[in-house]
Amino acid sequence: MYTIIKASVIVAATAMLSGCLTSPFYGQVFSSRSDEVSFQLWTTDSSQDITLECAKASAHGGRWSGGDYQPLTTITPSSDPHYDYHGGDSVIYQASTKVVIPSSCWRYYNYPGKDDYITVVRITQGSHGDDSIYTFDKEGLGCLGQWVGKTGLFSWFGKGCEKRYINTGEPIRTVFLKAES
């Protein structure tokens, strides 16, 4: 399974502005706000650091109007390339870290029948800006795996794998997370 996802990510990130986030997935629920969160990113640009910022979230996954983004951490991508298994010149670089998201980034929200804490993390890479990293929900990660081996390097793109806004169809460039306590 890991090989399939890794190959999917290689194909996916080469079609993007900069890269993609495969962990955590959009909507992932953690048992506690004090849990360590593993971030796994893939980028086509190893020369620029990746910045993670967190904020209190709105109920539907955006930044809550009562909170601003604050620095979470910076990650330097690996200099070891991963090559596209289809061949060619496409390469991708891995970047990962583990962090505890500070309590100042979590907001209590009372969902019907369920209480949760919610946060949103924005991922940017150097000069690529706010629109550089794609995110996926759990189903989207499965979609990436499904399209590995399909005809064409970018056959996953446009199949709805990446997380998108319902009203505009634009890719969501943040990751929305929940914690039970």
Average pLDDT of the chain? 82
Give the number of domains in the chain. 1
Are 139 and 71 in contact, with CB atoms under 8 Å apart? no
3-state secondary structure 110-130: EECCEEEEEEEEEEEEHHHCC
Mean pLDDT for the stretch of residues 46-71 = 91
Is the model's pLDDT at 4 over the cut of 80? no
For residue 2, name the pLDDT band (cuts at 50, 70, 90). Answer: very low
141: helix, coil or strand?
A: helix
Mean pLDDT for the stretch of residues 68-76 = 96
Residue 111 exposed, middle or buried by CB count within 10 Å (0-12, 13-18, 19+): exposed
CA distance 161 to 180: 27
Expressed as residue numbers, the domain containing 138 is 2-179
Is the model's pLDDT at 5 over the cut of 70? no
- Residues of the chain above pLDDT 70, percent: 77
> Mind listing the pLDDT tens digit for each residue in 94-135?
999 999 999 999 999 988 878 799 999 999 988 766 656 888
Is the model's pLDDT at 164 over the cut of 70? yes
> Mind listing the pLDDT tens digit for each residue in 25-43?
999 999 999 999 999 998 8
More confident residue, 155 or 65: 65
For residue 87, name the pLDDT band (cuts at 50, 70, 90). Answer: low
> What is the pTM assigned to this prediction?
0.83
